[in-house]
Amino acid sequence: FYEHVLKVDATRKTIQLDDGPEQKFGGSEYDLLVESEAGEKLYVDVSGLEDDFVGEVHVGVMGRIRRLLTGQVIAQ
């Protein structure tokens, strides 16, 4: 859960994944591609972002695997 961080500055309209390049956005994008320095990619919906939000958001999901089906790997 704490492996990646999305740095968001809605006042300046910039976003950054980990130590990747800082990227500008308009505010209406619902599938904005953000890339880390290591080449990891993340699509972000910034259309509902509060205009004054400045901060970091951890990327990931805390949880556990409830079921693992063999043949096809499906995690829930």
The string of DSSP letters for 13-26 reads TEEEETTS--EE--
Indicate the pTM of the whole model.
Answer: 0.74
Tell me how far apart the alpha carbons of residues 63 and 19 are, in angstroms, rounded to a whole number.
Answer: 25
Query: What is the mean pLDDT for each group of 10 consecutive residues in the chain (76 residues)?
Result: 89 96 95 93 93 91 65 55
**Per-residue confidence (pLDDT) for residue 73, from 0 to 100:** 54
* pLDDT at site 55: 96
